[in-house]
Amino acid sequence: MIARLSPKRIVFGDHAPSLRITLTSAILALLCLVWIYPFLWMVSTSLKSNMEMFANPGLIPQDFMWDNYRRAWVEANMGRYFFNTLIVTAGSVFLVTVSTAMLGYVLGRYRFPGRTTFFVAFVATVFIPQGFTIIPVFELLSMMGLSSNLFGLTLATSGHAMVVFVVLFAGYFSQLPKELEEAARVEGITFFKIFWYVMLPLARPMVVTVVIMQVLHAWNDFLLPLVITLANPAIRTLSVGIYAFKGEQSIDWTGMSAAATISIVPVVILFVLLQRYFINGLAGAVKG
Amino acid sequence: MSTFELSRRSFLTRASAAIATTAFGSGASIAQTVPAPLNNVPEGAKFRWIDSGDQKAVFFKKFFEKYGEARGIDIIYDPLPWNEIAKVVPLGVRNNTAHDVFVLPRNFSLADAVSQGWVQPYDEFIPNIEEWKKGFPSGAFLPGINEFDGKTYGLPFTSNKRYASHLLYNKAYMDAAGFDPEAKPLTHSEFREAARKITEAGQGRYFGFIIGGSQLNRWADVVRNIGRIGGASAGGDGILDADIDLRTGEYVFDSDEYIAAIELLLAMQSDRSMFPGFINLNAPQARAYMPQGAAGMILQGPWNIPSWESQNPDFDFGLSSAPVPDSGNQGKLTISQGGAKPNTISLWSGSENGAIAGEIFHYLGTLEGQIEWANVVGAGDPPIMPEAVAKADMSPRSKQILNLFNDQIRVGPNPLVRNGEMSKVVAAYVAPDVNFARTVQGLVAGQLSGVKEQMSELKDRYNSALDAAFAKAKADGANVDRSELVFANWNPDVDFGAADY
Amino acid sequence: MRVLGTLRVHRFHYLMMLPGLVLAGMFVFYPIFAAMFYAMHDWSGFTAQKIFVGFGNFLDLFLDPIFWNAFGRSIVFLVGTVPLQMAISLVLAMVLNMQLLKLSTFFRTMIFLPVVTPVAVIGIVWTFLLSPFNGPVNGLLLDLGLVSQPIDFLGSTQTVMPSVVGVYVWKWLGITLIYWLAALQTVPDEVYDAARLDNCKGHRLAFYVVLPIIKPFALAILLISSVAALNVFPLIMSMTNGGPFFGSEVMEIFIYRTAFAADDGSIPQLGYAAAAGVLFGAVLLGLTALQALAARRTRMATAGTKA
């Protein structure tokens, strides 16, 4: 057991140690330090007191101030914001995946009047960043009475980034062979069932990709939730909640670090656990 | 039952309190009384209130908790910083989801709010309102300011007599530098010297002067008030007239006094006496560095006093005037008559909870309520009734700063009071993109150069913007011109009363 | 009748597209037309009053140096980040793709970590790290003797854009890395074996063998990265608010500032902000179309030579 986990084995596996691998690993380790230092700093700060934060630049806190986390979770509403973000993320992932898969399927595989128009319209808008349409989106939600609730936020989060997914799905579906579908149709299976039971499972790599990209989008999204939650702080998402710390009348840096740590821990755990699917899934997007 | 929206503000307050290991010392004595019922309050109603928080939040949280419990209603209190209020309140009104009671964004006048139908009068919710109004000092309720068509729209419950850029300093550092601003206010050159010496003694651990440089209004405030103390008799605190000498109706951006104020900031910058990275700090961040000992001096407002005293009881700080000119000649600061505009609260036109608002408004306008207010909020947002100030239990520092305000501040003329149609000009006015505050920020941070040229260009920009606003208001049917901004009989050293209009 | 017939024949197709079309109609297409409508009005958003001004807002924009500066900064940001991000991540991907490198997965995870972290958190943490007062980055530079005075990275117009570009690349490098790794997986093992027989190694292997194979992926990666680089609002907002003195004000910040966040004394100008959005969108669309056209022409030209 111990032999298996020896440092040598971790770095070189079953191969003989080589200078090239040693050197490369060392350089990469240094580079990774740059990548993870901000996270170490954040976690370390989240355990310091506000006074110590300025007095002690080292990474190891003198006393572990676990109370920062309690404050962040309970009193800064991070608990609620976390829940809000979860709802918006889950809701928008469901909406986006189902609707863009169906739309992409039809656009990618069938010829019918209006198809070209739709297709061109989608491709043409890929590049329009969301900042430019935020005002009408907000107005639209206001008109519908959804401008300050979670449902409105979920809808808008879904709608904002969907164009790329439609294009990706259309591309993917158009490459799949026709035979399966035709065989199913001969057996009298309905159009919707073919899509759901035959075609969608075939598109699993793309579905995974879209799910992941939408999770990332919803979790990272900022401008849209910022604007929509302005009038109702109770529905803030994590990103907005943390940002709002900066605007306060006085600043609790360590509490903010604790809040920030809270907001990334679930995604990091999720990522570490699912990283294989994650990376293979994203790979699917580029290949498609 | 009252559920409380525990905001980040309370989080932060308690956070700092926890760090200082002393919870609010005065916590027990806060807001003991609950106003007697005046109106029929619907049981279980949900009542929302938004203001700019700070020390006010300490009072309101306690008060709302008790009051909500006593009356069986649910009160949601959102203390937010100004840049958020500027978005939240208009959006709320537009969406029909506004708070029942709100403060107006800083660049929006109550006259606009009334004409846009944002607010409703609260006369019917306060029994015998005329009698109640008599308890306020004269000039608190003014047509065109908080009264329109004989109805009352705004509640002026805190005094306007304060300014937001007096000196707060770290006593230990200042002593070491060899100055005593409490004995005699620092002159420009003394101020610069103090900043330099403190920085030198700090050796990189602390610095002479700090300012929340990313929060633009701080730059305007500091330069304007140093300039006014220097003798540039800029007008009141309105949107249009803040930097206009109301004796002549002309902008004073390029006056010697304003320029001297900017030169002082530039001098400290070139001495490297300014806190590094000040340009990216907002005001709360900058303020927080003071009790942590990272900076020696800040030009800020009285609200720091109660907050530092309760959260950082070990921090020994002193108070004084903003720097005075080397010649020693001091001008006065000018304010508008009446309550502090930023704290003036109004009742949303769509609110169905006027009865609740009426009870709370009434309470805030009684001597009892005013004293309770002063006990908690102190000099930060002093109550409007002078009697309440006298009777309140305030810290020596709070009293000291209020004395300074009495000494330095005078009531000036208000063009809106003379001619209500001026509110149309205010509404039509769009300040230049590169405004006063940004120009000062740009000059100090080194993105702009040539103080004199920049300030005279700035003056031209403001003149065009103001002329455009007048033209627009005229086209809109208002009978106004720029002579509305001239009060030839005004003497900045004495209060401008109702008889002087 | 023919219309009805078409509808009936394709009723399932249309029905299936419906949810997606409704969503896109509401949040993609409607906003574009609505923005054009607002752009023709003088409207603060504060008041109910909208005044039709035709192309007045656009004329004002053409004369507004602050708009053009923001426009320029968006382009600079795009050009500054995308090639950098693509180049660094390609090199990293090739290194991490080495089969002998057992720690590859670990390194990959580390570099991917910022990708899954909310931008607001990244912005705030980096603001502290780059701070000239007790910031670790300046601490390191001072300790190494590289500078004598702390650098105010985010506080000076000379350093603010490079700093933001750096943080952006740091944050999103992981995702481009994954794209390249995926592309590299398409290179068959035989290619490497053949190269080894020819004694082709190191940079020669990379340049003459691997790169040509993964070239087709570059366009997709470029597209995804460019779309991402235009949505830089949250990072800049949480780091600098567009400051100092407009120093990092990109288009999105310009629009947000004019539409919602008024400075002291100014009033939001929703109409003007919408016009800025429309103008920028139109230019981007034009650039995309030009690029697509150019790409098609080169493709046709190369196809021609091959034939």
End-to-end CA distance of chain B: 51
Cis peptide upstream of residue B306 (ω within 30 degrees of 0): no
Q: Report the range of poorest mean pLDDT among A20-34, A209-223, B19-33, C169-183.
A: B19-33
Mapping DSSP to helix (H, G, I), strand (E, B) and coil, where does residue C51 land?
A: strand
* Distance of alpha carbon B45 from alpha carbon B38, whole angstroms: 16
Top-confidence residue, B286 or C297: B286
Q: Which helix (H) or strand (E) holds B160?
A: none
Cβ within 8 Å of residue B329, ≥6 positions away: B231
Helix, strand, coil percentages (3-state) for chain A, rounded to 5, are 75, 0, 25
Give residue B229's pLDDT band: very low, low, confident or very high (50, 70, 90): very high
Mapping DSSP to helix (H, G, I), strand (E, B) and coil, where does residue A64 land?
A: coil
Q: CATH homologous superfamily of domain A76-287?
A: MetI-like (1.10.3720.10)
* Distance of alpha carbon C179 from alpha carbon C225, whole angstroms: 10
Mean pLDDT, residues C33-40 taken together: 87
Is any Cβ of chain C less than 8 angstroms from the Cβ of B270? no
For residue B383, what are the β-bridge partners? B158
A5 token code pair: 């986990």
pLDDT at A4: 55
Number of Cβ atoms within 10 Å of the Cβ of C292 = 11
Mapping DSSP to helix (H, G, I), strand (E, B) and coil, where does residue B41 land?
A: coil
Top-confidence residue, C14 or B199: B199
Contact A106 C13 (CB under 8 A): yes
Task: For chain A, positions 68-87, list CB contacts with chain C under 8 A.
Answer: none
pLDDT exceeds 70 at position C266? no
pLDDT at C76: 92
Closest-approach residue (CA) in chain A for C275: A132
Which residue segments constitute the domains of chain C, with CATH numbers given? Answer: 79-248 (1.10.3720.10)
Top-confidence residue, A97 or B21: A97
Mean pLDDT, residues C177-182 taken together: 85
Q: What phi and psi values does residue B169 have, to the nearest 5 degrees?
A: -140, 160
* Distance of alpha carbon B288 from alpha carbon B284, whole angstroms: 6
- The complex scores an ipTM of 0.81
pLDDT at A251: 66
Pairing of strands B207-210, B244-245: unpaired
Nearest to B220 among C66, C262, C264 (CB): C264
pLDDT exceeds 50 at position B20? no
Is any Cβ of chain C less than 8 angstroms from the Cβ of B433? yes
Yes or no: say if B299 and B166 are a contact pair by the CB < 8 Å rule.
Answer: yes
Helices A150-160, A78-109: inter-axial angle, 10-degree rounding: 40
CB burial of residue A5 (10 Å; 0-12, 13-18, 19+): exposed
Query: Helix H segments across B203-339?
Result: 216-230, 256-270, 283-289, 304-311
Mean pLDDT, residues C150-177 taken together: 92
* Distance of alpha carbon B250 from alpha carbon B236, whole angstroms: 13
Yes or no: say if A208 and A277 are a contact pair by the CB < 8 Å rule.
Answer: yes
C31 closest CA partner among A116, A142, A220, A154: A142
List chain C residues with CB under 8 Å of B278: 155
C293 token code pair: 């056209």
C120 to each of A2, A213, A226, A260, C181, how far by Cα in Å? 42, 18, 11, 9, 27
Give residue B29's pLDDT band: very low, low, confident or very high (50, 70, 90): very low
Give residue C305's pLDDT band: very low, low, confident or very high (50, 70, 90): very low
Query: Helix H segments across B153-273?
Result: 171-177, 188-202, 216-230, 256-270
Calculate the average pLDDT of chain B: 87
Contact A148 B84 (CB under 8 A): no
C74 closest CA partner among C235, C239, C250: C250
A127 token code pair: 């590049």
A66 token code pair: 């676990």
Cβ within 8 Å of residue A155, ≥6 positions away: A92, A95, A141, A146, C23, C26, C27
Nearest to C16 among A102, A128, A216 (CB): A102
* Distance of alpha carbon A170 from alpha carbon A207, whole angstroms: 12
All partners of chain A with 3 or more CB pairs under 8 angstroms: B, C
List chain B residues with CB under 8 Å of C265: 107, 239, 429, 431, 435
pLDDT at A224: 84
End-to-end CA distance of chain A: 42
pLDDT exceeds 70 at position C262? no
Per-residue pLDDT tens digits for B34-80 = 777 888 888 888 899 999 887 888 899 999 999 999 989 989 888 87
Yes or no: say if B38 and B126 are a contact pair by the CB < 8 Å rule.
Answer: yes
Q: What phi and psi values does residue B140 have, to the nearest 5 degrees?
A: -70, -45
Q: Which amino acid is at A131?
A: G
* Distance of alpha carbon B371 from alpha carbon B380, whole angstroms: 14
- Percent of chain B scored above 90 by pLDDT? 55
pLDDT exceeds 90 at position C194? no
Closest-approach residue (CA) in chain A for B83: A247
* Distance of alpha carbon C272 from alpha carbon C277, whole angstroms: 9
Give residue C307's pLDDT band: very low, low, confident or very high (50, 70, 90): very low
Is any Cβ of chain A less than 8 angstroms from the Cβ of B87? yes
* Distance of alpha carbon B241 from alpha carbon B250, whole angstroms: 9
Give residue A132's pLDDT band: very low, low, confident or very high (50, 70, 90): low
pLDDT at C257: 84
Helices A134-143, B82-95: inter-axial angle, 10-degree rounding: 50
Q: DSSP letter at C97? A: T
Closest approach of B18 to chain C, Cα-based (Å) = 23
A250 closest CA partner among B54, B256, B349: B54
Q: Report the range of poorest mean pLDDT among A244-253, B428-437, B463-472.
A: A244-253
Residue tagged 């329009």 (tokens): A128
Mean pLDDT, residues A25-31 taken together: 88
User: Domain extents for chain A?
Assistant: 7-68, 76-287
Q: Which amino acid is at B124?
A: E
Yes or no: say if B345 and B56 are a contact pair by the CB < 8 Å rule.
Answer: no
Cβ within 8 Å of residue B153, ≥6 positions away: B110, B113, B114, B119, B120, B121, B122, B146, B147, B346, B347
pLDDT exceeds 50 at position B22? no
pLDDT at B4: 37
pLDDT exceeds 70 at position C303? no
pLDDT at A18: 78
CATH architecture of B8-155+341-380: 3-Layer(aba) Sandwich (3.40)
CB burial of residue C187 (10 Å; 0-12, 13-18, 19+): middle
The number of residues making up chain A comes to 288
Q: Report the range of poorest mean pLDDT among B225-229, B234-238, B283-287, B430-434.
A: B234-238
pLDDT at B18: 39
Yes or no: say if C174 and C111 are a contact pair by the CB < 8 Å rule.
Answer: yes
Top-confidence residue, B95 or B375: B375
Is any Cβ of chain C less than 8 angstroms from the Cβ of B445? yes
B100 closest CA partner among B141, B158, B42: B42
B119 closest CA partner among B149, B157, B75: B149
Per-residue pLDDT tens digits for B408-463 = 999 899 888 888 888 788 878 888 878 899 899 999 988 899 999 999 999 999 99
The angle at the Cα of B191, spanning B190 to B197, to the nearest 5 degrees, equals: 85
* Distance of alpha carbon A96 from alpha carbon A211, whole angstroms: 8
* Distance of alpha carbon B397 from alpha carbon B318, whole angstroms: 8
The angle at the Cα of C13, spanning C11 to C14, to the nearest 5 degrees, equals: 65
- Percent of chain A scored above 70 by pLDDT? 86
Top-confidence residue, C207 or A6: C207
Q: Is the dihedral of CA B381, B383, B384, B389 positive or negative?
A: negative
Give residue C263's pLDDT band: very low, low, confident or very high (50, 70, 90): low
Closest-approach residue (CA) in chain C for B240: C265
pLDDT exceeds 90 at position A131? no
pLDDT at A26: 87
Interface probe for B, chosen from A248, A254, A257, A262 (most Cβ of B below 10 Å), is A248
pLDDT at C237: 85
pLDDT at B17: 40
Helix, strand, coil percentages (3-state) for chain B, rounded to 5, are 45, 15, 40
pLDDT at A247: 55
Yes or no: say if B10 and B319 are a contact pair by the CB < 8 Å rule.
Answer: no
Q: What phi and psi values does residue B79 have, to the nearest 5 degrees?
A: -85, 120
pLDDT at C1: 55
Closest approach of A75 to chain C, Cα-based (Å) = 19
Top-confidence residue, B5 or C50: C50
pLDDT at B186: 96
Q: Which amino acid is at B319?
A: L
Task: For chain C, positions 10-69, list CB contacts with chain B under 8 A.
Answer: 45-48, 64, 66
Interface probe for A, chosen from B22, B52, B77, B95 (most Cβ of A below 10 Å), is B95
Yes or no: say if B126 and B134 are a contact pair by the CB < 8 Å rule.
Answer: no
Cβ within 8 Å of residue A120, ≥6 positions away: none
Top-confidence residue, C9 or A251: C9
All partners of chain B with 3 or more CB pairs under 8 angstroms: A, C
Q: What phi and psi values does residue B170 have, to the nearest 5 degrees?
A: -80, 115
Contact A247 B13 (CB under 8 A): no
Closest approach of A76 to chain B, Cα-based (Å) = 4
pLDDT at A280: 67
Helices A162-175, A78-109: inter-axial angle, 10-degree rounding: 40
Closest approach of B54 to chain A, Cα-based (Å) = 6
pLDDT exceeds 90 at position C83? yes
The number of residues making up chain C comes to 307
Encode A69-87: b = buried (16+ Cβ within 10 Å), e = exposed. Answer: bebbbebbbbebbbebbeb
Give residue B19's pLDDT band: very low, low, confident or very high (50, 70, 90): very low
Q: Which helix (H) or strand (E) holds B419?
A: none
Closest approach of B433 to chain C, Cα-based (Å) = 8
Contact B276 C263 (CB under 8 A): no
Per-residue pLDDT tens digits for C273-293 = 889 988 888 887 787 777 777
C74 closest CA partner among C240, C227, C238, C257: C227
Contact B216 C261 (CB under 8 A): no
Q: Which helix (H) or strand (E) holds A251?
A: none
Per-residue pLDDT tens digits for A60-92 = 888 788 888 888 888 778 888 889 999 999 999
Nearest to C157 among B280, B433, B447 (CB): B447
pLDDT at B317: 97
Calculate the average pLDDT of chain A: 81
pLDDT exceeds 70 at position A282? no
Task: For chain C, positions 135-164, list CB contacts with chain B under 8 A.
Answer: 135, 150, 152, 154-157
All partners of chain C with 3 or more CB pairs under 8 angstroms: A, B
Yes or no: say if B484 and B415 are a contact pair by the CB < 8 Å rule.
Answer: yes
- Percent of chain C scored above 90 by pLDDT? 23
* Distance of alpha carbon A206 from alpha carbon A281, whole angstroms: 7
The number of residues making up chain B comes to 501
B390 token code pair: 């006298």
Task: For chain A, positions 131-170, list CB contacts with chain C under 8 A.
Answer: 131-137, 139-140, 155-156, 158-160, 162-164, 166
Closest-approach residue (CA) in chain A for C228: A129
pLDDT exceeds 50 at position A21? yes
Closest approach of A241 to chain B, Cα-based (Å) = 9
pLDDT exceeds 60 at position C306? no
